[in-house]
Structure 1
Amino acid sequence: MAARRALASAEQDLRDQLERVAAARRRLPPGPLLADYRLAEGPADLTRSGPARSVRLRDLFEEHETLFVYHLMFAPEAAEACPMCSLWVDGFHGVLPHLRRHTAVAVVAKAPLPRLRAWARRRGWAGLRILSSHGTSFNADLRAEHPDGTQRPMVSVLRAEGDRVRHFYSAPASFPDGGERGIDLLSPVWNVLDLLPEGRRDWYAGNDYVPAPAASPEPV
């Protein structure tokens, strides 16, 4: 019983620390204004083909003042997206109706739009705004890729400021010291695994065991 009480106290301390960090995040000074990026987007229905259209970053906010972006690791030459990134986006997709009551949401990747949409269709990400930053400096400017072009898993929060967009916050999957688990709190998978007697161990997500949705026809 003493061990369980001690654990409960430690968990309460962790909760309080998380709240202090969240408060510090909200007090951050304004970030820089961003360029007027134009990203490529297809039809809202992933099962339909159609010409890509150029979308201003500012227009992704819709009626909201903020935009939550997941920077999906999917290099232009890659055949598949990063399995860990796909795991995170699976989770965001699952709670999308709740998130959209507070913020606009978008997934942006460097892969060309047709390949990116095919991946989103395979994962069943219906309803998510899926955009390609191929041919732009968006990834590099927001540090969602390294100088050598290697993709970097990351989330960003952007704020609308009139007709412009200002950066508010970004969190990469790895901390500056090289340690991982930078955005693990954003996925329920890790939190549930940490509750198990064996913990998360060295498990790594895969793309091979996630079945395609039952109704995922090819674009028409």
Structure 2
Amino acid sequence: MDEIQQTERQITELIGKLNALRKKHCGKAVHNYLFSTLDGEVPMLDLFADHKRLLLIHNMGRGCRYCTLWADGFNGLLPHLESAMSVVLVSKDAPDVQRQFANSRGWRFRLASHGGGDYIREQSVVPGEGNTPGAVVYEREGDTIFRKNGCVFGPGDIYCAMWSLLGLAGLGEEDWTPQFSYGQSPQKLGDGDAGPAD
């Protein structure tokens, strides 16, 4: 077995160990936060729908090309994910802005806005960092919500297949950056605070 295969096997074993640790993690009780949707304010408990588990995808908003890359990938997995848990993409954008951008990307996610409020300040994937891309899984027991596990999204992580496929070709973050479209390069890149760069 060559060094590449050995390293792949080690990574697979480490991911198995990580998932076993996550399965045992009990989590911490959290508030029943309020979110804004096109249908009005919705408490977090309602986002669970008929599921015991809720995956909240933390998206920085329509101006972030990296968050868009991750969400584009998850969109293809959505029916599979929703067979196991409720899935909602959250961002600071207003619900109408979220829906317009989601429609432009062909996203089928349920959407909710935290508006930059208490939820994202207290439940960020990086404590104290606020609107950071990532995901958090919550579990409910009756009317009590527990934060089970969370992760941060970033170039090279295990949550976006693009990086592994680029790596297979010997390419990395320094060689490629995501764009909103590939017909032409934008004059400037979005940073998550504005709309897609022109």
- Relative to the length of structure 1, the TM-score reads 0.75
Aligned residues: 182
| 2:37 corresponds to | 41
User: Structure 1 regions of 5+ residues with no counterpart?
Assistant: 43-51, 75-79, 175-179, 211-220
| 1:177 corresponds to | none
3-state DSSP class of the match of 2:137? Answer: strand
2:105 is aligned with what amino acid?
Answer: R
Once the two structures are TM-superposed, the CA of residue 7 in structure 1 deviates from its matched residue by: 2.3
**1:81–1:119 CA contact under 8 A, matched in 2:** no
3-state DSSP class of the match of 1:141? Answer: helix
Identity of aligned residues (%): 26
**2:132–2:152 CA contact under 8 A, matched in 1:** yes
Once the two structures are TM-superposed, the CA of residue 186 in structure 1 deviates from its matched residue by: 1.2
**1:37–1:136 CA contact under 8 A, matched in 2:** no
| Structure 1 residues 144 and 23: alpha-carbon distance in aligned structure 2, compared to 1, 3 A threshold | closer
Q: Deviations over 1:170-204 (max 9, x none)?
A: 11236xxxxx64xx2111111111111x3224122
| 2:41 corresponds to | 54
Matches within 5 A, 1:17-166: 17-28=14-25, 30-42=26-38, 52-74=39-61, 80-126=62-108, 128-134=109-115, 136-144=117-125, 151-166=131-146
2:149 is aligned with what amino acid?
Answer: Y
Q: Distance in 2 between matches of 1:56 and 1:188?
A: 32
| 2:150 corresponds to | 170
Q: Deviations over 1:34-68 (max 9, x none)?
A: 112121122xxxxxxxxx32211111112211111
Structure 1 segments of 4+ aligned residues over 6 angstroms from their partners: none
1:190 is aligned with what amino acid?
Answer: W
- Relative to the length of structure 2, the TM-score reads 0.83
When Rg is computed on C-alpha atoms for both structures, the one with the higher figure is 1
| 1:199 corresponds to | 171
Task: Calculate the aligned-residue CA RMSD, in Å.
Answer: 2.1
